[in-house]
Structure 1
């Protein structure tokens, strides 16, 4: 069996090499699993080339990659292999060594109170040792006018994309997740002018919308083709695949795990300020008022995803998690979406794909959709 151990020495707190040496390699040795190759990444795009070369050296077929990194390295590998276009089947053994580790934390949610950290980080490796089943990964493909990118965690615009864009400047002084909170505070009063088309699920012909009273998705009223068009401004726009959280405790799309889709889809979480009954115009005061509510919503995402149950209670400042008021968060499940930023709103042209920032061209749009037919290229994780 072809077994590649690959680690990113500069991801997260830069302890991936130490963890591989002290924990991963001894476990493999104790169970008679000798790596075919052990490689440290050396810079941007190197991980993808390493895996592609390893597949060729192994003669194709199915290969297993023990990957000690964060979500960004997974993203890099998948995008490189998709661009090459050859038939591949990759089984990932994930060792979470990045900053947020959204994919790993969604597959192996942290225990509260926390258990032994090293044991928790070796759960995917233990599944590999035990020959447990693997979980296929759904890919979301986002296309621009002249290029495309694949995501396995998150594709976003608006506040989340701005947070990821600005947080990179803070990485050196804040290597942990604290930098995301700082970037959020710096951007939370901004609104983003755009419109979005949500695309129907092929299985039902409609877009599904979350009903907080019933705590489940329901088919929504939509246009003749099953799509839904939403007008901005937007404060928050984010879609996920394979995950229900972006950090160990930040559970942004909770039904992705508590009520998973039966077919490939994306979960979309949206905040639109002008749905707030207390806000009628776009003004500095309105933005400050809604920023407080956005902060409350994002804070409740850390409360086991309780943000999707928040409602307006009619007062300017209060949000409640019960009653008959209109839901604050719009939460959809669909086959994908199309984002059309206002030409004059430069920040609305930012797009985040698994932490990598892209710029939508002027007068352009981004179209994101799940890939349902991946016969020639398959990725899965030991769970």
Structure 2
């Protein structure tokens, strides 16, 4: 099986080339020396304009199983795999991630907040997958999403709309001055008061559309919940406005930022996302009793948006998503609004579905913004489903 190394020198802190020279060459040279029948790795550098997409397309034309070593972030992994699907996904891809990006969500989903138990200052935290490959340890099958917006793209981490998509869109202008994850927090502050209008359509698969029920600590078919009405086919249509709308096949977007705690491979088996389903995390402000009361009183909408951003949204972000996914248990409690783990109406709607469609409202131009693994698109409609027949395994 051929081994291809893709290095994105521009990713994250721009240290991929030094990591390649200091660590990756040594591991791969030793791997090759251990078995003289092994073919020497082929090295590729990403293109400043097209990233790793052209490399992926070229590799797909070989129509053979391969091992792909990626020095970069989630965007680099996405570009390489997306380039492959634009031609033809190889029968099997074995992925070795050497994280040199900004957030490195997929890597942390596989290895946790502190990979290998190493501190963030210890460079060995980047080498867990490389060590697993060199030692022929185990691989983990990955779920992929097929994202259709006219063209078809592949998503291996997240497809999002509303706040998360706006954060990724606006953070790009901050990349040069703030290459670390702080730029995402800065972009969030610019967009937290925005509400996004549109319709979310959730589709069943072999299992019905489900929502996590905090009081029961399990996923429950929406038909068994009183606040939803699916049609005769099991399709569920949800109206906005939305503040947060993110579909994920991993649990986190940063090492310690966990919007979808049940989506990743490290989750307990009883709650873990099945391979043919997508976890969709939703925040709709009109579910808030405080928001409803303010609207009934005739309070100005800009003040209501600000109140929601500073209240429930901030609590979900900083006391939930940054606290190992605790937000999935938050509930509303009358005028107290967010009241931690309660039996009331969940603050976060955590859905599980086989596919979904996002239909932006024509009256909201910003609702067309869609993020696919960090790449921003503008689409009048988006459909997402689990990618069947894409066999990607990650060394871990």
Q: Normalising to structure 1: TM-score of the pair? A: 0.92
Are 1:252 and 2:252 an aligned pair? no
Structure-2 separation of matches of 1:68 and 1:133: 20
Closer, same or farther in 2 for the Cα pair 1:314/1:136, shift >3 Å? same
Q: 1:86: Cα distance to partner? A: 5.8
Aligned equivalents of 2:353, 2:5: Cα separation in 1: 36
Counterpart check, 1:333 vs 2:352: yes
State the 1:35 CA deviation.
3.7
CA gap of 1:36–1:113, structure 2 versus 1, over 3 A, is: closer
- Who is 2:338 aligned against? 319
**SS of alignment partner, residue 103 of structure 1:** helix
Residues 8 and 89 of structure 1: is their aligned pair in 2 closer, same or farther, counting only changes over 3 Å? same
Q: Structure 1 regions of 5+ residues with no counterpart?
A: none
Q: Closer, same or farther in 2 for the Cα pair 1:87/1:105, shift >3 Å?
A: closer
Q: Distance in 2 between matches of 1:279 and 1:237?
A: 19
Is it true that 1:137 corresponds to 2:142 in the alignment? yes
Q: Secondary structure at the match of 2:352?
A: strand
User: Which residues of 2 match residues 1-150 of structure 1 at below 5 A?
Assistant: 1-32=1-32, 35-54=40-59, 60-85=63-88, 87-111=90-114, 115-116=118-119, 117-144=122-149, 146-150=150-154
- 2:385 corresponds to: 369
Aligned CA distance change for structure 1 residues 24 and 296 (closer, same or farther; 3 Å)? same
Q: Aligned-pair distance for 1:319?
A: 1.7
Residue 274 (structure 1) aligned to one of 273, 286, 290:
286
Equivalent residue for 1:380? 393
Residue 179 (structure 1) aligned to one of 165, 178, 183: 183
User: Are the structure 2 counterparts of residues 112 and 302 from structure 1 closer, same or farther at C-alpha, using a change threshold of 3 Å?
Assistant: farther
Question: 1:310 pairs with 314, 321, 330, which one?
Answer: 330
In structure 1, the residue matched to 2:315 is: 296
Which residue is 1:207 aligned to? 209
184, 197, 204: which one aligns with 2:201: 197
CA RMSD, Structure 1 to Structure 2 (Å): 1.9
Q: How many residues align?
A: 370
> Which of 348, 354, 359 is 2:367 aligned to?
348
Query: How far off its partner does 1:253 sit?
Result: 0.2
**What is the alpha-carbon distance in structure 2 between the residues aligned to residue 125 and residue 283 of structure 1?**
52
Q: C-alpha distance in 2, partners of 1:189/1:114?
A: 38
Q: Indicate if the aligned counterparts of 2:115 and 2:125 stay in contact, CA closer than 8 A.
A: no
Compute the TM-score of the two structures, normalised by the length of structure 2.
Answer: 0.89
Query: Contact (CA 8 Å) 1:212, 1:308: kept in 2 or not?
Result: yes
Task: Name the structure 2 match of 1:357.
Answer: 376
